[in-house]
Amino acid sequence: MQDLWRLSAKELAALIGTKKVSAMDAATAALARLDAVNPKINAVVDYHPEDVLAHARGIDAAIARGEDAGPLAGVPVTVKVNIDQQGFATTNGLKLQRDVIAKTNSPVIDNLRKAGAVILGRTNCPAFSYRWFTTNLIHGDTKNPRDPGITPGGSSGGAGAAVAAGIGHIAHGTDIAGSIRYPAYACGVHGLRPTLGRVAAFNAALPERTIGPQISAVSGPLARTVGDLRIALAAMSQQDVRDPWWTPAPQEGPARAKRAALCLNPDGLETVADVKAAVADAGKRLERAGWVVEQIENTPPLREAAELQTKLWLGDGYEAQLEAAEREGDPGALACLRGNKAKVHPFDAAAFSKALVRRATLTREWQLLFETYAVLLMPVSGELPFPDGLDRRDDGSFARVWRAQIPQIGIPFMGLPALTVSTGMVGRVPVGVQVVSGRYREDLCLLAGEAIEAAGTPPAPVDPAG
């Protein structure tokens, strides 16, 4: 039973629910795996083993009483260090927040626990969750378990690295500009950015978020199987009145014809050959599964959406963000803000109003695309996962990183759901495809994702590479 950490969440929950193994067995195996591999990758930066075991004992006791312990009964999961977990610091990768100890749980934590999950530990992110690379001055660097020379992604880099290395069966991440989808891509796992309003969010330990993050940042799952994403999404997305944006949308929408669009160069994206090949291969997998796949030359505006999203994210309150980054002294955060200043500052009331007006127009145009097609297949990034720290090498490298990430930055502006499906490797470097659908149609993303996954090999836990 020492290899329980290798199982999918679905498999493990079934074993625990039928008493073939205990939640304590699963927790002990998860902690042993964490201790064995985390020192090499620094994915989990805070955890209390005694709390993990105590929670697992409680799950076993509930099952012994004949109670339904939930769809994630006893499954060890990780959560990102930027959401409130009672008794832990909500650092968001910041020395400035080392003493911000949460007195209550965020809705995500509460919902995971209601579903029976055991919170294994808290995963790393870059300072302020700004970058597609994961390093900071409080917790240090997170390494990609597949190849330490490439980024584990960001900002949920610890989440991606943990689930890829078998530390937990599901990882929680957040996404305002690719922070779930890119770590999944870089670490060779799957990751789902839900629709805005699907998963409730609130951190009582921190000030209320500005409007940009309120209307574009979401929480969602990363996992090694698409089926586990489906279970995790259902668990995470239960009602919580603390989030005024939460929406009671059904998990499954009306049936749609299995018709997919495929775009290799959305809005002029400079897509490298290996990424094009991965997207095309995903399309062929869908066709073999009975989908009609039509290649389209372009999508509704994506580059403009990415520009406006960057303004909402970094321009709203830019001076306050820069002042905080200067106090923190994090080189990556400062590079992100200073490198984007000309694009996002000043962001006055007129510019803010214009951005929100365009948001309605662009969202409408994208929604109309999904009247014709159930899903869209397109790149996660214009490039394969970057060498670690590429954005800080020089000005040209910084611009290259941001240019390649347009597919990730743009989608949140419309509040759409998007799924990264890992499809294989190019040497030691993972590659995958992004599946996008209309609002609250995560079920269509997952349906297509399961067909793409079924024609390949689901990611298996890896031992960290040297």
Instruction: Report all structural domains of the chain as residue ranges with CATH numbers, in order of start.
Output: 4-454 (3.90.1300.10)
Q: What is the 3-state secondary structure (H, E, C) of 42-81?
A: CCEEECCHHHHHHHHHHHHHHHHCCCCCCCCCCCEEEEEC
Residue 466: is its pLDDT beyond 80? no
Residue 176: is its pLDDT beyond 90? yes
Displacement of CA 31 from its chain's centroid (Å) = 23
Find the mean pLDDT for residues 247-263: 97
Q: Which residues pair with 173 in a beta bridge?
A: 220
Task: Specify burial of residue 419 (Cβ count, 10 A radius: 0-12, 13-18, 19+).
Answer: buried
- CB contact set of 465 (below 8 Å; sequence gap of 6+): 144, 145, 146, 147, 148, 428
Cα separation, 153 vs 420, whole angstroms? 13
Residue 2: is its pLDDT beyond 70? no
pLDDT at 465: 83
Residue 277: is its pLDDT beyond 80? yes
Residue 33: is its pLDDT beyond 90? yes
CB 363 within 8 A of CB 415: yes
Find the mean pLDDT for residues 98-118: 98
**What are the φ/ψ torsions at residue 267 (nearest 5 degrees)?**
50, 40
The DSSP secondary structure of 228-268, one letter per residue, reads HHHHHHHHHTS--TT-TT-----SS------EEEE-SSGGG
Find the mean pLDDT for residues 141-153: 98
CB 178 within 8 A of CB 132: yes
Nearest CA among 73, 358, 309 for reference residue 177: 309
Helix intervals (H) in 115-216: 157-164, 181-187, 211-214
3-state helix, strand, coil in the chain (%, to 5): 45, 15, 40
3-state secondary structure of 405: coil
Find the mean pLDDT for residues 95-119: 98
pLDDT at 1: 58
Q: So which residues are the catalytic ones?
A: 80, 155, 179
Nearest CA among 453, 330, 174 for reference residue 182: 174
Look at the chain and count its residues: 466
pLDDT at 458: 82
- For residue 160, give the amino acid letter: G
Provide the edge-to-edge strand list for the sheet that holds 190-193.
Answer: 44-46, 118-123, 76-80, 170-175, 218-223, 190-193, 418-426, 429-436, 375-378, 259-262, 292-295
Residue 46: is its pLDDT beyond 80? yes
% of the chain residues with pLDDT over 90: 98
Query: Which helix (H) or strand (E) segment is 362 a member of?
Result: helix 349-372
Number of CB atoms found within 10 A of residue 427's CB = 9
Nearest CA among 53, 39, 246, 288 for reference residue 141: 39
Residue 89: is its pLDDT beyond 90? yes
CB 137 within 8 A of CB 127: yes
**What are the φ/ψ torsions at residue 293 (nearest 5 degrees)?**
-120, 125
Cα separation, 153 vs 102, whole angstroms? 26
Residue 464: is its pLDDT beyond 70? yes
